[in-house]
Amino acid sequence: MLRIITGTAKGTHLKVPATGLRPATDLVRGSIFAMLENLTDDWSRVLDIFSGSGAMGIEALSRGADWVDFVDREPRCCAIIKMNLEKTNFSTQSHVYCMSAARALSLLEKEYSVVIMDPPYPDTSIGDVVEQLASSKLVNQDSIVVVTHSSRFSLKPNYGMLTQFKERRHGDSTISIYRKENVA
């Protein structure tokens, strides 16, 4: 059963769609947030792409994020994210966009301090989404971009101005962290 690891909603069990999802394990989510705690103090705006159950973004809210935008293309996932936000009392600090990642990246306009992507592992087009994010106005020099993916699939070290500066593997899961290169 999926639960929130720590923060104000610690221990809350989240609903997960019955089939087709591979939610990040407690170990992987814990590792992501442990790394993020050492990389940023800015939790003002978080973007959770390929949200699924909303566990990543809700974990961020539980740990003190001010606002999280959730993006998932599946209506059943969007409904479950909304239920999980109600259950954890974070509905007023979030918005759920039920659309493809590509469409959301072209419509959203605010910059995000943290972007978390946890796509389906068979989706090898994730690099295209990271490339689109890199060329968008949604990330700046201080933004941190986290992508979880199968260890059998490697992401490139650079997507536009986004450069991978950290990678950690946990079994079949790899966590890749990107930041915009400083342009002198």
pLDDT at 174 over 90: yes
In the prediction, which pLDDT does 21 show? 65
**Residues 99, 71 contacting (CB under 8 angstroms):** yes
In a domain, 135, yes or no: yes
Mean pLDDT calculated for residue range 117-123: 85
User: Which range of residues forms the domain containing residue 54?
Assistant: 26-33+40-180
Residue range 39-88, pLDDT digits in tens: 999 999 999 999 999 999 999 999 999 999 999 999 999 999 999 999 99
- pLDDT, tens digit, for every residue of 146-155? 999 988 888 9
Rounded to two decimals, the pTM is 0.94
Give the pLDDT score at 181: 75
Q: Residue 83 falls within a domain, yes or no?
A: yes
- Give domain status of residue 5, yes or no: no
**Total count of residues recorded for the chain:** 184
Percentage of the chain exceeding pLDDT 70: 96
Q: Assign residue 75 the CATH number of its domain.
A: 3.40.50.150
Strand order in the sheet with 68-72: 94-98, 68-72, 46-49, 114-117, 144-150, 173-180, 162-170, 158-159
23 vs 167, residue with greater confidence: 167
Q: Give the pLDDT of residue 109.
A: 93
**At CB < 8 A and 24+ separation, what contacts does 17-21 make?**
17/52, 17/53, 17/74, 17/76, 17/77, 17/80, 20/74, 20/120, 21/52, 21/53, 21/77, 21/120
| Cβ-based neighbours of 149, under 8 Å, separated by 6 or more | 119, 121, 126, 155, 173, 174, 176
Provide the domain count of the chain: 1
Model pLDDT, residue 182: 65
133 domain-assigned: yes
pLDDT averaged over the chain?
A: 92
Residue 72 lies in a domain: yes
pLDDT digits (tens, 9 = 90+) for 3-20: 999 999 999 999 998 766
pLDDT at 184 over 60: no
Number of neighbours of residue 152 by Cβ within 10 angstroms: 9
Q: Is residue 10 part of a domain?
A: no
Q: Does residue 18 belong to any structural domain of this protein?
A: no
Residue 71 CA to residue 107 CA, distance in Å, equals 11
- Tell me if 116 is assigned to some domain: yes
